[in-house]
Amino acid sequence: MDDAEKIVTIVGSVLAHEGAEFVYAGKIPECKKCKVAKVCHNAKLREGRRYRVVAVRPTKHECLFTPKGRLPWR
């Protein structure tokens, strides 16, 4: 994955560790109210595509969808 493009976005705290993988499922209605939705749903993310967490930042954001909050990753 060294040659792959790195994308900064936000994932749930359960997935916020190096090596975790997830499939991006797109926006839900609750995201319209969120101040960091543009980062969660980075324009480079594609629905149905698998992504891997390669680094986690210490900042935590509240999320209406994920009860334990979300953390930025790339």
38-57 pLDDT tens trace: 988 989 999 999 999 999 99
**Bridge-partner residues for 34, per DSSP?**
none
- Distance (Å, rounded) from C-alpha 74 to C-alpha 65? 20
Q: What is the pTM assigned to this prediction?
A: 0.76
- The domain spans of the chain are 9-73
Helix/strand/coil (H/E/C) assignment for every residue in 42-56: CCCCCCCCEEECCCE
Which pLDDT tens digit goes with each residue over 10-49? 888 888 899 999 999 888 888 888 888 998 898 999 999 9
